[in-house]
Amino acid sequence: MQGEEVPGATFRRKDLLGLADLSREEIKTILTTAASFKEISTRSIKKVPTLRGKTVITLFYEPSTRTRTSFEIAAKRLSADTVNLTVAASSAVKGETLIDTAKNLEAMAPDIIIIRHACSGAPHLLAARLKSSVVNAGDGLHEHPTQGLLDMLTVWEAKGRLDGLKIAIIGDIAHSRVARSNIHGFRTMGSQVVVAGPQTMVPPDLAELGVEVTFSLAAAIADADVIMMLRLQLERQGQMFFSTLREYSRFFGLSPKHLKLAKPDALVMHPGPLNRGVEISPEVADGPQSVILTQVTNGVAVRMAVLYLLSGGEASGTAA
Amino acid sequence: MGLLLRGGLVVDPAQDLEDLRDVLLENGRIARLAAPGTIPAEGHEVQDCTGLVVCPGFIDLHVHLREPGQEYKETIATGGAAAAAGGFTAVACMPNTQPVNDSAAVTRYILEKAAEARQVRVYPVAAISQGSEGKILAEYGELQAAGAVALSDDGRPVSNGQLMRRALEYAHTFGLLVISHAEDLELAGNGVMHEGLVSLQLGLRGIPAAAETVAVFRDCELARLTGARLHIAHVSTAGAVAVLRWAKSQGAPVTAETAPHYFSLTEAAVRGFNTNAKMNPPLRTEADVAAIKQALADGTLDCLATDHAPHSVLEKDLEFDKAANGIIGLETAVGLSLRLVEEGVLTLSQLVCKLSTNPARILGVPGGSLREGGPGDITVLDLNHPWSVDVSQFKSKSRNSPFHGWQLPGRAVMTVVGGEVIWEL
């Protein structure tokens, strides 16, 4: 897709809720726009007036440092006004429903509400009821579309294409919204997706999404162009999903020995935060094939593109 | 003065009757069935039933009326009105009220409220265990004396196999039916919908079909062990159907029901995070729907029940994970079931059997037939009365139906209880 321009194409959605229903053209539009926004973050004055006068609210019902910060920086670099709301799980218990909270926020006329919530579908509940644009910053086990987009941008920049690449996603697929968004996004863009993990963490029916499923790390990463390691949620150990961290690390952690099985120029990715020494060895995380920090950098660009396009901006970022 | 229903097609599977008859009700009972035009009209209220189907009153042996305790969702009066408008002349109400119906006092309270409401007949189902906590048996003898017709921990299944065995034995002592909500709670985990492709795509935690199958198997084996009468509630899976078919072939004293949503909808209805498609057991797959229809046709599933579960927006207008399970069903059940006749899955007589004859037999209550001398409970159907489901017109206090806007082929047009027309379209 490199070099393909999409002149005049506009992202005509009110909300960004997931990658499952985005077309190839829509994903291209977001990625090309994001690529053009990257330069802004390299300037000494990292700010353009594109979204001046727009109000962006981040509404986070789950703890997050990197995603919320990334969205906030993205909004600020476009000159939007940002308000961050972190709703502790305890205050939701006090009684206000999600819909009431959102309606109250909307009464203050924001343009975009960015929500993260532990319940799958929470952003959809808001999107159906609010006039504001809604961006899903991660809902339950469902989707994390901007993570999928920044991962695709990172691969596209490094490889020059997405079509025909072999993407291996390793770990707890069942509980990963990152995996779901990446599966949808990379499949739509023509990549081959292989997943591996212990069967306890690989949902039944996964193959029906057009994904190759294996329970062997080595089989998944053989000849892979990209190896995406998922974060192991450590509390899963007590929930019968695996035996010990030591064994998990031995069979499903990415070490230099495993990395040799992939293509020599394979990229190593991780959505963070890392459990060093569990799903990824420090040597690999910090090694030459790792693009983990590039993912973080690209996160800002992708989120700038999403905020810009949802505000009615023209594709490819000419306004910047 | 009697009530004379003239010119209708009488369908009464208990008498193997499907023919034009006039039906005279007197003193609350069926007085006479006779060839059309042979009963003199003088002195009777006459209802012309030409072109309509006259059936023994429909009995829904699985509803939640929410009273006492959650009257904002439904009351015995509003639930009774919904039942009447849906063509039911009797309902059996589950014990998961607040307080739980685990005592003669609550059972009597329900019966008093039902008598005041003067709607359909209400048969209380009492709890298997005290507080439905799955620990200590409730007082079955006293509950029966107060008017309870069966026992169930519906919604809070008995996970302890030993308790279930003892419950069946103790119930058998009093000749009471046990209705099992068959679900392995550990396997179901914190699932909120059927485990399959749709749950994978929506990122919602799944309940595997096996959670139902293994529980049905356990309870069927316990029924064989104890000889106690067991009824399996809301069967939703092909696996449970296969287990039931086998258990019945082995002579297990088991009957079973399904609900209209399990043959009308699949897991796909959850797409868009539709909380009106959230229920327990969850909506399953196309293959399960096909198995349920087959089991209705071959008699493995004995009856239809609604699992009418009213909830307000407070429980449903929420994140899917947090929304309550259940949908209302009393006012759509007959219309949805008539689709089975249209599709050729069931004959009209088989359908009446599953809505009236069999539920009466399973619960051991009067009705289920139009035999002379039996209770004057009648449901009159119009098979050719297409209508559009509009929840705003429902008699139920709640609106949580996934069938809003559906076109249905026919419906009940008159409901008669004890010889009195309690509802008429």
Rounded to an integer, what distance in angstroms lies between the CA atom of residue A40 and that of residue A258?
Answer: 37
Nearest chain B residue to A177 by CA: give it: B203
Res. B105: pLDDT tops 60? yes
Among the partner-chain residues A99, A117, A203, the one whose CB lies closest to the CB of B317 is A99
A140 and B204: CB-CB below 8 Å? yes
Q: Annotated catalytic, B390?
A: no
A124 and B272: CB-CB below 8 Å? yes
B273 close contact with A: CB closer than 8 A: yes
Rounded to an integer, what distance in angstroms lies between the CA atom of residue A252 and that of residue A254?
Answer: 7
From the CA of B314, how many Å to the nearest CA of chain A? 9
For A202-212, give one letter per residue: b (16+ CB within 10 A) or e.
Answer: bbbebeebebe
B320 close contact with A: CB closer than 8 A: yes
The active-site residue, picked from B12, B219, B307, B377, is B307
- Where residue A121 falls (left for φ over 0; alpha for ψ -120 to 50; beta otherwise) is left
Q: Of B406, B211, B204, B197, whose CA–CA distance to B323 is shortest?
A: B204
Instruction: Give the residue numbers in A contacting B (CB under 8 Å), as ranges.
Output: 20, 97-99, 117-122, 124-125, 139-143, 177, 180, 203-206, 208-209
Region B94-120: mean pLDDT is 97
Prediction ipTM score: 0.90
Set of chain A residues whose Cβ sits within 8 Å of the Cβ of B195:
203-204
Set of chain B residues whose Cβ sits within 8 Å of the Cβ of A206:
200
Which residues in chain B (146-205) have CB-CB distances under 8 A to chain A? 195-197, 199-205
Instruction: Give the pLDDT of residue A94.
Output: 66
Instruction: Give the pLDDT of residue A211.
Output: 97
- Chain A interface test: which of B190, B192, B200 (most A C-beta within 10 Å): B200
B201 and A20: CB-CB below 8 Å? yes
Nearest chain A residue to B205 by CA: give it: A141
B413 token code pair: 């047009």
Per-residue model confidence as pLDDT tens digits over A13-53:
999 999 999 999 999 999 999 999 999 999 999 999 999 99
B196 and A141: CB-CB below 8 Å? no
A157 token code pair: 């920049």
Per-residue model confidence as pLDDT tens digits over B384-395:
999 999 999 999
Per-residue model confidence as pLDDT tens digits over B395-425:
999 999 999 999 999 999 999 999 999 999 9
Among the partner-chain residues A180, A206, A209, the one whose CB lies closest to the CB of B203 is A180
Beta bridge partners of A269: A228
**Mean pLDDT of all residues belonging to chain B:** 97
Per-residue model confidence as pLDDT tens digits over B144-200:
999 999 999 998 999 999 999 999 999 999 999 999 999 999 999 999 999 999 999
Q: What CA–CA distances, in Å, run from B107 to A141, B177, B181?
A: 43, 16, 20
Instruction: Give the pLDDT of residue A4.
Output: 45
From the CA of B318, how many Å to the nearest CA of chain A? 7
Set of chain B residues whose Cβ sits within 8 Å of the Cβ of A238:
none
CA angle B365, B369, B372 (to 5 degrees): 110
B16 close contact with A: CB closer than 8 A: no
Per-residue model confidence as pLDDT tens digits over B253-272:
999 999 999 999 999 999 99
Region B275-288: mean pLDDT is 98
Res. B49: pLDDT tops 80? yes
B202 and A142: CB-CB below 8 Å? yes
Instruction: Give the pLDDT of residue A2.
Output: 41
From the CA of A172, how many Å to the nearest CA of chain B? 13
B202 and A121: CB-CB below 8 Å? yes
Instruction: Give the pLDDT of residue A9.
Output: 57
Instruction: Give the pLDDT of residue A5.
Output: 45
CB A113 within 8 Å of CB A127? no
Res. B103: pLDDT tops 60? yes
Instruction: Give the pLDDT of residue A145.
Output: 98
Instruction: Give the pLDDT of residue A302.
Output: 98
Per-residue confidence in pLDDT tens, chain A, 320 aa: 444 444 445 688 999 999 999 999 999 999 999 999 999 999 999 999 999 999 999 999 998 889 999 999 999 999 999 999 888 754 555 678 899 988 899 999 999 999 999 999 999 999 999 999 999 999 999 999 999 999 999 999 999 999 999 999 999 999 999 999 999 999 999 999 999 999 999 999 999 999 999 999 999 999 999 999 999 988 777 788 999 999 999 999 999 999 999 999 999 999 999 999 999 999 999 999 999 999 999 999 999 999 999 998 776 544 43
Instruction: Give the pLDDT of residue A317.
Output: 45
Instruction: Give the pLDDT of residue A315.
Output: 65
